[in-house]
């Protein structure tokens, strides 16, 4: 991913969303549309979310040092998690407000609502297009992209509602469309939040441990593999740490060569970028790959 291009896209999308937010906020007040005001609030949160993602993106580019020996890449994961939680909260709040609007309908000026909604829709699609490419490779950028996508969907809903309100005065569509968009955004936000949480909790990134076992033990010098830990450090960095039992006669040089070959196979077949294997002779030779908490490593 080209970091310079990503930085420029963040700046462009931030400025564009500030303009959208101001336009929809005043348009919602003048027209009396909850959907338009909710879209403005959503866009306001997006400005904060984009800035958060952008700052995390800049931090992630810093080189590792004695205080952060792994580097700063997880700053983007933290930002993705935070943005996901923000989206979940906003979706629930808008859903509740939409239900209340069903019981307390208010007059809506469909003409103003339609014009502002069309402006917002165009701007949101431009924002989506700007973030689309990097969203496939980076969870932090994807969280920003989902913000943009949810805004675009919300704008589409507002446009549809504005048309029906302007021509046929179907005001109940305003809260209904708000509810539908909220449910969709809630689903997308939940997925991003869980993915980020799994990275922060150092969960297994769908690596088949049976295949790990098969690859490692395919080398005759390795007798057993135990105390295995596999986790995703960032979007493109998977790590594996394990203890392996080898013969007492195996030299350090021979073990290093075997480790390099194991690393190549694990990267090619399972996408593991970094491995650390600790050689042992007798200790743990009867242990399983995953050792329970009651059985601590020495």
Beta-bridge partner residues of 280: 245
**Helix/strand/coil for 135:** helix
Least Cα distance to 188 among 275, 75, 90 occurs for 90
* Position 256 confidence tier, pLDDT thresholds 50, 70, 90: very high
Residue 291 is predicted with a pLDDT of 67
3-state secondary structure of 142: helix
Task: Share the mean pLDDT of the chain.
Answer: 85
Distance between CA 276 and CA 145 in Å, rounded? 35
**Of 291, 293, 272, which is closest to residue 224 (Cα–Cα)?**
291
pLDDT above 90: residue 139 = no
Q: pTM of the prediction?
A: 0.77
Q: CA 171, 176, 179: angle at the middle one, nearest 5?
A: 145
Task: Give the contacts of 147 (CB within 8 A, at least 6 positions apart).
Answer: 45, 46, 49, 50, 83, 87
Share of the chain above pLDDT 90, in %: 35
- Average of pLDDT values for 133-146? 79
Give the CA distances from residue 215 to residues 185, 222, 230, in Å, rounded to whole numbers and listed in that order. 41, 10, 15
Measuring CA to CA, which residue among 48, 16, 3, 2 is closest to residue 129? 16
Question: What pLDDT score was predicted for residue 103?
Answer: 79
Q: Which helix (H) or strand (E) holds 65?
A: none
Q: For residue 2, what pLDDT is reported?
A: 47
């Amino acid at each position: 991913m080209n970091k310079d291009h990503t930085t420029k896209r963040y700046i462009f999308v931030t400025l564009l969303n500030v303009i959208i937010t101001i336009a929809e906020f005043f348009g919602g007040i003048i027209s009396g549309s909850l959907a338009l005001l909710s879209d403005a609030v959503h866009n306001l949160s997006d400005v904060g979310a984009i800035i958060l993602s952008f700052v995390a993106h800049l931090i992630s580019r810093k080189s590792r040092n004695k205080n952060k020996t792994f580097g700063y890449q997880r700053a983007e994961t933290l930002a993705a998690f935070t943005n996901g939680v923000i989206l979940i909260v906003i979706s629930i709040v808008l859903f509740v407000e939409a239900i209340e609007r069903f019981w307390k309908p208010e007059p809506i000026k469909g003409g103003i609502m339609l014009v502002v909604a069309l402006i917002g829709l165009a701007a949101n699609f431009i924002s989506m297009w700007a973030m689309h490419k990097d969203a496939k490779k980076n969870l932090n950028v994807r969280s920003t992209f989902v913000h943009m996508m949810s805004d675009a969907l919300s704008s589409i809903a507002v446009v549809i509602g504005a048309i029906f309100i302007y021509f046929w005065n179907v005001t109940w569509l305003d809260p209904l469309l708000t509810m539908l968009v909220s449910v969709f955004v809630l689903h997308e936000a939940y997925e991003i939040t869980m993915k980020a949480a799994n990275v922060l909790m150092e969960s297994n990134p769908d690596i088949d441990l049976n295949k790990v076992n098969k690859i490692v033990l395919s080398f005759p010098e390795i007798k057993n593999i135990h105390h295995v830990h596999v986790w995703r450090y960032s979007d493109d960095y998977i790590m594996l740490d394990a203890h392996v039992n080898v013969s007492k006669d195996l030299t350090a040089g021979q073990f290093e060569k075997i480790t390099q070959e194991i690393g190549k196979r694990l990267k090619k077949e399972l996408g593991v970028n970094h491995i650390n294997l600790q050689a042992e002779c007798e200790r743990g030779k009867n242990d399983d790959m995953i050792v329970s908490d009651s059985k601590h490593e020495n």
